[in-house]
Structure 1
Amino acid sequence: MHIRLAKIQDAEAISALINESAHHFLLDSSGRGAERFLAGITPQAILGYISSPNFHYLIAEDGADFAGAVALRDGRHLFHLFVSPAYQRQGLARALWEAAKQVAAKDLETFTVNSSPNAVVVYERFGFAVNGPRTEVNGIAFVPMEAAATYGPPQHQG
């Protein structure tokens, strides 16, 4: 498995991966009400994020296979973290998160994420804690979370 900075030609694969998982957090499976969110995960939108100095995108590849992606916004907000179903439950989400922390702003006290309700347990394993109620807005549901900023080797919890 190789994790690297995303390139503009990765936008299509990143968009496809996020769209594949969107049903986990859309309030209406048709996407009704989530048009703003859905517009933000098109290949063109992802290309804009990759090109922006406010975002850091990393991707994971297994040979020629696209396995996952992570993005930080403003060096402190976990904006995207998605792993292809074929690579889930193998530690790749944690590896992507640890890699993202290495490109994060170094003056942080906390990281934030708006977690899919289904992913709260995963983020808790990464050290995040819920810091607000489940929120439903613009056709999606999320749970705000934060974690103390730590750097260096992964912190394993028992």
Structure 2
Amino acid sequence: MSNKTKIIQPVIREATLSDAQEISELIRSVAHYFTIDPAGVGAERFLQTITPEAIAGYIENDDIFYLAVVAGESIVGVGAVKNASHLFHLFVCEAYQGQQIARRMWNQLAPRLTGRPVTVNSTLAAVPVYEKFGFKIAGSKVERDGIAFVPMNK
């Protein structure tokens, strides 16, 4: 018998309404990367946009295409495109970061981004990731509603 743990290969699929709660929890778990205050103080308006109800609304919205990355029974990443021109969400839980999951989601989302320019509001830490996807910084760091981001486009 082997001591090796079986590695579960994450699967990317379209998100469903039943995923909304878990997606919300995943985004909240990485929110400290983009909220100015690590506890989210001042970001209440933004945090309302990632409640399970808000996520369900995005999944149901015909102008938003939403993906979930599932490993075993858990959602470990999410990505969404809005209006065919904005990379709306791209989040990977901390335990799965650095495993090319964001790249795999990007590869599935990119063909849906038919508008020009394609935009994303990047966390400060994710700027190098988006640069690898071909995005360029399009403006100075923005601090609004308790979050900080860098506008980028391609």
TM over 0.5: yes
Runs of 4+ residues over 4 Å off in structure 1: none
Residue 125 (structure 2) pairs with residue 131 (structure 1): no
**Shift, 1:95, TM fit:** 0.4
For structure 2, the residue ranges without an aligned partner over 5 or more in a row are 1-9
CA contact (8 A) 2:85 2:116 kept: no
CA RMSD of aligned residues (A): 1.2
Residue 28 (structure 2) pairs with residue 19 (structure 1): yes
- Residue 54 of structure 1 is matched in structure 2 by 63
**Shift, 1:31, TM fit:** 2.0
- Residue 67 of structure 1 is matched in structure 2 by 76
Q: Distance in 1 between matches of 2:67 and 2:117?
A: 20
**Shift, 1:76, TM fit:** 1.3
Q: Deviations over 1:25-79 (max 9, x none)?
A: 1112232221110000111110111111121100111232322100111111011
Q: Distance in 1 between matches of 2:113 and 2:38?
A: 36
- Residue 49 of structure 2 is matched in structure 1 by 40
User: Partner amino acid for 2:118?
Assistant: F
TM-score (norm 2): 0.89
Q: Deviations over 1:68-102 (max 9, x none)?
A: 10011111101110112221111110000111123
Q: Distance in 2 between matches of 1:105 and 1:143?
A: 19
For structure 1, the residue ranges without an aligned partner over 5 or more in a row are 148-158
TM-score (norm 1): 0.87
Matched position secondary structure for 1:61: strand
Moved more, 41-50 or 54-63: 54-63
Q: Which has the larger radius of gyration?
A: 2
Q: Distance in 1 between matches of 2:39 and 2:96?
A: 26
Q: Distance in 1 between matches of 2:90 and 2:64?
A: 13
1:129–1:105 Cα change, 3 Å = closer
Matched position secondary structure for 2:80: strand
Q: Deviations over 1:89-118 (max 9, x none)?
A: 11110000111123x153x33311000011
Report the identity percentage.
47
Matched position secondary structure for 1:114: strand
- Residue 29 of structure 1 is matched in structure 2 by 38
